[in-house]
Amino acid sequence: MKRKAEGKIVKRVVVLILMCMAFPTLPSVASLSTTQEVEEALTCQCSCGLTVHSCNHLQCSFAVPRKQEIATAIAEGKGKEEILTAYMAQFGEKVLSAPTTKGFNLAAWITPFLALILGGVVVSLISLRWSRQRALKEPKPLLVTEVADEYRQRLKKELERFEE
């Protein structure tokens, strides 16, 4: 009985090793792309401004055939990057839904953040300058003693006129 169980285990191990040797290029689960990921990475070229996945034209001349092509490519085992590279070669970088992070396209990622930071600095400096100018232009409030002295002097003048 023990020999039969050991024999089955050995057979299974041998079959597993042979399968690994027969299919060494199978993609790992982590590298498999879904059709939705690839479709979301491509912009539809029918001028709707949406991605291939979310194009809402029923008989779109661009999205419908591309969805089928992408599904076929995924079934053949091609990865997302490979499919996107093929579409970039065919249609140019305009087909990508997001710019690449290389070369001049890096500016498309950095510019909005730089603009926000620069705008915040400019607004802060302008508001600081306005608040300082306003503080310099406003008259200082009179102190209570200054007000009291002013009333005393006025009272003395009026009393002197009254006595005359």
Q: Specify the pLDDT at position 121.
A: 96
Residue 77 maps to which CATH number? 1.10.8
Q: Specify the pLDDT at position 125.
A: 95
pLDDT surpassing 60 at residue 29: no
Q: Average pLDDT over the chain, rounded to whole?
A: 81
Q: Please report whether residue 143 resides in a domain.
A: yes
Rounded to an integer, what is the distance from CA 80 to the centroid of its chain?
20
Per-residue pLDDT tens over the stretch 62-85: 999 999 999 999 999 888 999 999
pTM of the model: 0.49
- For residues 38 and 66, membership in a common domain is answered with yes
Q: Specify the pLDDT at position 33.
A: 65
Q: Rounded to the nearest 10 degrees, what angle do helices 63-75 and 80-91 cross at?
A: 140
Percent of the chain with pLDDT over 90: 26
CA–CA separation, 123 and 119 (whole Å):
6
CA–CA separation, 93 and 104 (whole Å):
12
Per-residue pLDDT tens over the stretch 30-46: 345 688 899 999 999 88
Domain of 83?
Answer: 27-98
Single residue among 41, 76, 98 that ends a domain in this structure? 98
**Tokens, residue 92:** 């140019």
Which segment of 14-23, 58-67, 127-136 scores lowest on mean pLDDT? 14-23
CA–CA separation, 86 and 92 (whole Å):
10
Please list, in sequence order, all residues whose beta carbon lies within 8 angstroms of the beta carbon of residue 5, skipping any fewer than 6 positions away: none
Residue 111 identity = T
Tally of structural domains, the chain = 2
Q: Specify the pLDDT at position 133.
A: 84
Q: Specify the pLDDT at position 124.
A: 95
Which of 67, 62, 75 minimizes the C-alpha distance to 40? 67
Q: Which helix (H) or strand (E) holds 110?
A: helix 106-137
Q: Please report whether residue 1 resides in a domain.
A: no
CA–CA separation, 26 and 60 (whole Å):
34
Single residue among 59, 83, 98 that ends a domain in this structure? 98
